[in-house]
Amino acid sequence: MNAVLPRRRSPAWTLANCLTYGRLVAVPVMVALLFWPESHTARWTALGVFVAAAITDYLDGYVARTYHQSSALGRMLDPIADKLLVSACLLMLTADHTIVGSNIWAAIVILCREVLVSGLREYLAELKVGVPVSRIAKWKTTVQLVALGFLVAGPAGETVLPGTKPIGLTLLWLAAALTLWTGWDYMRAGIKHVIDDPR
């Protein structure tokens, strides 16, 4: 009689990956809520969804490292989820005129950097060259998420904390400055591989 072996859980459904899936699901939910920018209820709900998604950004990495749940799928989806969350948020906040005028340049800098680094990472992956995340890049992500949190709260946040929007815009510019810094670091680290590639 053959012994019944316990089924191994699919690595696609580890806790770390499920947290990342949650962040992906949060993106369309947050976008839908921001279609009603004048509704304070929608704003507060969008902020709750955004904060929960931002927390999973930290938790999925922590869980993967602590409980040895790192996987190729997780490494692929994690940066995608981050970029979708930030990009969708910036686009919706620009569309509802939370980010207006010269402040749009801060959003453009952040979006362009995300595209640049993604393209650089993809190219270097073909060369089997890793691009580690620097400490400053982690600070950039933190400042960026905090800035977007204030801006998502927007007019609803002003009723609780006057100056919510100016605080968010100031932090957005700080995030843009850190974005330029880290973007240059990534370019400098990868450019020698691009130049040396004989293709």
* Model pLDDT for residues 80-103, shown as the tens digit of each residue: 899 999 999 999 999 999 999 999
Non-local (6+) Cβ contacts of 193 within 8 A are 124, 127, 129
CA 120 to CA 111: how far, in whole Å? 14
CA 122 to CA 120: how far, in whole Å? 5
Taking only the tens place, the pLDDT of each residue in 189-198 is 677 766 665 5
pLDDT for res 132: 63
The residue behind tokens 């060259």 is 129
pLDDT for res 160: 94
For residue 1, name the pLDDT band (cuts at 50, 70, 90): very low
pLDDT for res 138: 83
pTM as predicted:
0.86
Which one-letter DSSP state was computed for residue 103? G
